[in-house]
């Protein structure tokens, strides 16, 4: 009975940590411009849990938020700009019948490459000490070199989205859990592949 009680409280403790991390992340994202720094901090805390078995939440989150603020903000501006350009091209091509079928596959291709690269973007950022362009470059190479794991990461992202659509209340725990699983996927890749350093 004591064993069962211990297991129950351990599971409850883990779920509480995921809930708290998710809640802090949501609050930190409210200014919108802080979405990327907040996400980097959430990945850094997940990394801390996985690699060091350190389950602190509040202090660790704000420390990593501060540490990754500048770099993650720059990447956020860069990534948002890419996404905006791709979206504008997509909308424009829908209006121009003559070149739609010629250029549309390229827009889809670049969108797919960007999505695949995104899987490793935050894990690489918080796991290595690299410049912004090196983070993007290594994330792209890892995504292409380990395509099945990249697709698994995208599957996690899609799963989070579908779970939220099906049950909106999962917004209070699903993002932190998804982040944890994506870093677990990335960790396996990091163990197999040396990254390109400056």
Q: Closest by alpha carbon to 75, among 16, 127, 122, 120?
A: 122
Alpha-carbon span 125 to 135, nearest angstrom: 6
Handedness of CA 35, 38, 39, 40 (dihedral sign): positive
Domain extent listing, the chain: 2-192
Q: What is the pLDDT of residues 12-36, one digit of tens each?
A: 888 999 999 999 999 999 988 999 9
Q: Closest by alpha carbon to 111, among 76, 79, 156, 159?
A: 79
Q: What is the pLDDT of residues 128-183, one digit of tens each?
A: 999 999 999 999 999 999 999 999 999 999 999 999 899 989 999 999 999 999 99
Q: Closest by alpha carbon to 49, among 102, 126, 115, 132?
A: 126
pLDDT exceeds cutoff 60 at 4 = no
Interval 70-74 mean pLDDT: 94
């Amino acid at each position: 009975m004591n064993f069962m009680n211990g297991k129950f409280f351990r599971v409850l403790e883990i779920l509480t940590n995921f809930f708290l991390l998710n809640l802090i992340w949501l609050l930190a994202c409210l200014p919108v411009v802080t979405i990327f720094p907040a996400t980097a901090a959430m990945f850094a805390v997940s990394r801390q849990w996985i690699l060091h078995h350190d389950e602190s939440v509040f202090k660790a989150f704000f420390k990593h938020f501060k540490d990754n603020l500048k770099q993650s903000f720059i990447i956020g501006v860069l990534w948002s700009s890419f996404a905006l350009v791709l979206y504008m091209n997509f909308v424009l091509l829908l209006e121009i019948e003559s070149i739609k079928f010629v250029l549309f596959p390229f827009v889809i291709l670049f969108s797919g490459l960007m999505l695949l690269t995104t899987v490793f973007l935050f894990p690489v950022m918080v796991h290595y000490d690299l410049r912004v362009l090196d983070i993007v470059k290594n994330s792209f190479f890892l995504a292409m070199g380990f395509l099945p794991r990249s697709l698994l990461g995208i599957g996690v992202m899609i799963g989070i989205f579908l779970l939220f659509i099906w049950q909106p209340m999962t917004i209070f725990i699903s993002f932190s859990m998804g982040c944890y699983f994506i870093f677990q996927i990335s960790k396996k890749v990091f163990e197999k592949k040396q990254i390109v350093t400056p």
